[in-house]
A and B are shown apart, each in its own frame.
Chain A
Amino acid sequence: EVQLVQSGAEVKKPGESLKISCKGSGYSFTSYWIGWVRQMPGKGLELMGIIYPGDSDTRYSPSFQGQVTISADKSLGTAYLQWSSLKASDTAIYYCARRIGLRYFVDYWGQGTLVTVSS
């Protein structure tokens, strides 16, 4: 059974760093792209970027380039989303999601990680 299991909720202060994770199982982790999707409170879905764990090829959406870093450790079967300096506006639910190919749709989603940034 394909599963994407994300790390737990986080509460951080502005300016702090953070790295959240997404562990894939039940499939060949290195053969599928993993994307990260932001959902701010009461708002819609925004695709932040995608990574191919097989060779760490990473593509960012223009709005998120330079704002976050997406990475993967294929030995651990885990993808990551990290911030070096959080802002209150980073408060959101973050979903990881699997897609078969670069130009393909998401077929499995993680359960989401709530990140709250507040002083």
Chain B
Amino acid sequence: DIVMTQSPDSLAVSLGERATINCKSSQSVLDSSNNKNYLVWYQQKPGQPPKLLINWASTRDSGVPDRFSGSGSGTDFALTISSLQAEDVAVYYCHQYYSIPGTFGQGTKVEIK
């Protein structure tokens, strides 16, 4: 199984400031045959199922605000919230689907400072 490790486990950021979450995989999740990274980012708020934010490491899902962006390739990835809003308080998970059936990172809790 590919192990996904997120850092930090939690972070507190002031409203309007940048938040960056890192995700490292124990093996590459880049498929060289199509140059795609098999990694997504989900946001989960209390009492709700996860919501897809970013797919293929860097493509925002439909309707996701452009303050959310994904970057990275191979084994190192990041989710950046460029200007934190109150509604962004949540737990964020990276998830690889390169190996079947896939694995999640442990989650990063984002709070307001």
Contact = CB atoms under 8 A, between A and B. Distances in A.
Given A47-B101, A47-B103, A103-B38, 16 more contacts: A47-B102, A59-B100, A59-B101, A60-B101, A61-B1, A61-B103, A62-B1, A95-B49, A105-B95, A105-B97, A106-B52, A107-B52, A109-B50, A110-B49, A111-B49, A112-B49
Contacts of B107: 44-45
Interface residues of A, number: 24
B101 A45 contact: no
Contacts of A61: 1, 101, 103
Interface centre among B40, B101, B107 (most CB of A within 10 A): B101
Interface string B66-105: 0000000000000000000000000101010110111111
Interface string B26-58: 000000000000101010100001101001000
Contacts of B49: 95, 97, 109-112
Contact of B97 (A45, A46, A103): A103
B: contact size bracket: 20 to 34
A45 B100 contact: no
A49 interface: yes
A95 B105 CA distance: 17
B74 to A, nearest CB: 17
A106 to B, nearest CB: 7
Contacts of B20: none
Contacts of A106: 40, 50, 52, 95
A103 B98 contact: yes
A99 B107 CA distance: 21
Contacts of A103: 38, 97-98, 100
B101 A105 contact: no
Nearest to A93: B49
Given A44-B107, A45-B93, A47-B103, A105 B98 contact: no
Contact of A104 (B44, B97, B104): B97
A49 B65 CA distance: 31
A40 to B, nearest CB: 12
Interface in A62-79: 62
A46 B93 CA distance: 11
